[in-house]
Structure 1
Amino acid sequence: MRKKIPSLNALTIFEAAARQQSFTRAADELALTQSAVCRQIAGLEQYLGLPLFARIKKRVILTPAGRQYAERIRVHIDRIERDTLELMAQQDGGGVLELAVVPTFATQWLIPRLAEFSRLRPDITLNLLTRTDAFLFSESSFHAAIHFGSAAWPGTQGHFLLSEGDTIPVCSPALMAQISKAGRSSKNGPGIRDIANLPLLHLTTRLNDWRTWFELHEYRNDVPAVKGARYELFTMLVSAALAGLGVALIPRFMVQAELDAGILVTPVELSLPGSAGYHLVYPEEHASFAPLAAFREWLLSVAAASRNETER
């Protein structure tokens, strides 16, 4: 049993009086009498054992303790109001969906498609926060997650969305032009030897990708393959390639828009096959949560259409 929590009514009145710096204005805001506000504040001060306001003639001023308490209480009251409104919005299947998602998948694939979901379900607010590692749903506020990998997430239900597909080398057109200008490319364009002589950009979690790529295409390049700048996220890797800092190995679907726009190019058409993919996962107890059910139905449909388009 919680014994040291004042009544919510008293805290609401105190927050209003602290914000207004006036018992009279707080009474007007809350549709109460001034004497009711005074009684609630006096009762709260007696409960806490210290003054929250200094009474100076006909004015009230927050004490240092009162100011600190008001700032903290305001955060909690705002959260209670927000949580209540979110819960009330679920009456018609709407509400707020908290989704953890892999950063680059969010920026390069999911977010560009979310306008359609927002149009179909304007009553659902989708909050995205990035997570790159598995976590315990019981210790977080997330309803679901989109994660990358080849194994199931323990303790969850899951749906396959997309295979990562082939990973390809990409660079800026300016860097591509430098290769030709230096005379290192053949009449058929740059070759694997040209790539080996360029700055190679790496993802910190996949430091063996370049070595694997060279080995797959029968070109031994052990030392240069592990040298070069490292970046934590694919979004950083894309930006570095756009800036002309080197050649990066990036899944094709993550840079298709940049390739179509001509701001990134593939210096050689030699890829690294991928076997892992992206999955929507959530605890079993969240399966019937209305906003998640609506998002799940839409997401699986869009992912299936994307897979079919890729396979054509």
Structure 2
Amino acid sequence: MRRKIPSIEALQAFEAAARHQSFTRAAEELALTQSAVCKQIATLEEMLGIALFNRIKRRVSLSEAGQVYAREVREHLDRLERSTLSIMAHQGSGGVIELAAIPTFATRWLIPRLPGFYAEHPNITINITTRSDTFIFADTVFDASIHFGTGVWPGAHADHLFGEEMIPVCSPQLLARHPCSQPPDLVKLKLLHLSARHDAWHKWFAAAGASDLNAMVGPRYELFSMLVEAARAQMGVALVPRFLVQEEIRSGSLVTPFDIPMQSEMGYFLVYPESKREAKVLQAFVGWLLEQAEQYRLQLQP
């Protein structure tokens, strides 16, 4: 017996209503009548045997089961849309790679190098979505992820790209106003922190031989890119990965008051499911990215 599954129209109506928390706004988005949306959702609830919405007078809100189902439906509809756009765009040739990547790594290191990849592989498209957390590939649309950590990722193969070398940077104008002759003097410039690494400055000062300082004071930012811009705006001194500020140091918009690098115990990895190790489209990207990472590592050698 063929299993009964919801129609795509019913799922679209439910997803829109769940997102807007309104049948009326869902109907407007889908160019349907409100009664049509209500009927689609009622049919879906009847088939599932569970209420997806709480209905109180003229207002609706997702039930607990509806909240879980809405997330799953949204992911599947998004995957279907991406697959449809991919086959329309490539007409059977080339392919698309769905890549999850750390935000600042993607914008400051990967994207500037991508023109070289497209020159070699014009029929492959790379879609990049920012993700910082570990996830199960089977539950997402992603083919691979660029991850910062230890390289341990359940059910996935990990290729090491390079380690992380943290250095202090600040505006040359700020340093001119507040000269620093030794590492502890940096406290005078105001320390800028990354929220996720609250003890980074403490570790750097310890590596620089000044472990008895209070290195916790100063504003905190969510992304390294925010730290870089705050340093450029003369708001203080930031501790960031060297690869993120190579262009600023080269142009002189940022300087390194003390070139004392702090090596992280973790690094950057390209991870992808074991089942994708033979996928030609993905492996073309893997090979290219590993070459780029090797070139970068060679640049850092004295």
Normalised-by-shorter TM-score class: 0.7 to 0.9
Q: How many angstroms does 1:148 deviate by? A: 0.8
Aligned partner of 1:137 in structure 2 is: 137
Of 243, 258, 264, 1:268 maps to 258
Aligned pair in 2 of structure 1 residues 237, 62: CA closer, same or farther (>3 Å)?
Answer: closer
1:196 and 1:221 in contact (8 A); partners too = no
Aligned pair in 2 of structure 1 residues 5, 172: CA closer, same or farther (>3 Å)?
Answer: same
Q: Does 1:309 align with 2:299?
A: yes
Gaps of 5+ in 2: 10-26, 41-73
Percent identity over the alignment is 46
Equivalent residue letter for 1:115: P
Runs of 4+ in 1 over 6 A off after TM superposition: 67-70, 75-79
Q: Does 1:3 align with 2:34?
A: no
Equivalent residue letter for 1:65: S
Residue aligned with 1:148, SS: strand
Aligned partner of 1:199 in structure 2 is: 190
Aligned partner of 1:177 in structure 2 is: 176
Of 223, 226, 241, 1:233 maps to 223
Rounded Cα–Cα distance in structure 2 between residues aligned with 1:162 and 1:244: 30
Equivalent residue letter for 1:274: S
Of 269, 288, 295, 1:298 maps to 288
Q: How many angstroms does 1:232 deviate by? A: 1.2
Rounded Cα–Cα distance in structure 2 between residues aligned with 1:100 and 1:239: 24
Gaps of 5+ in 1: 12-51, 53-60
Q: How many angstroms does 1:266 deviate by? A: 0.9
Equivalent residue letter for 1:248: A
Q: Does 1:217 align with 2:208?
A: yes
2:201 and 2:239 in contact (8 A); partners too = yes
Q: How many angstroms does 1:259 deviate by? A: 0.3
Rounded Cα–Cα distance in structure 1 between residues aligned with 2:78 and 2:157: 33
Question: CA-to-partner distance for each residue in 1:168-218, whole Å, 9 max, x for gaps?
Answer: 1100122112114xxxx4xxxx32232122210111121111111222222
Q: How many angstroms does 1:67 deviate by? A: 7.7
Aligned partner of 1:243 in structure 2 is: 233
Residue aligned with 1:226, SS: coil
Question: How many residue pairs get matched?
Answer: 246
Of 257, 281, 304, 2:271 maps to 281
2:151 and 2:269 in contact (8 A); partners too = no
* Higher CA-based Rg: 1
TM-score for both structures, normalised by structure 1? 0.70
Rounded Cα–Cα distance in structure 2 between residues aligned with 1:154 and 1:301: 25
Q: How many angstroms does 1:81 deviate by? A: 7.0
Aligned pair in 2 of structure 1 residues 3, 152: CA closer, same or farther (>3 Å)?
Answer: closer
Equivalent residue letter for 2:199: N
Q: How many angstroms does 1:227 deviate by? A: 0.8
2:194 and 2:221 in contact (8 A); partners too = yes
Aligned pair in 2 of structure 1 residues 3, 307: CA closer, same or farther (>3 Å)?
Answer: same
TM-score for both structures, normalised by structure 2? 0.73
Q: Does 1:65 align with 2:35?
A: yes
Rounded Cα–Cα distance in structure 2 between residues aligned with 1:257 and 1:269: 16
Q: How many angstroms does 1:236 deviate by? A: 1.1
1:32-51 aligned within 5 A: none
Q: How many angstroms does 1:80 deviate by? A: 5.4
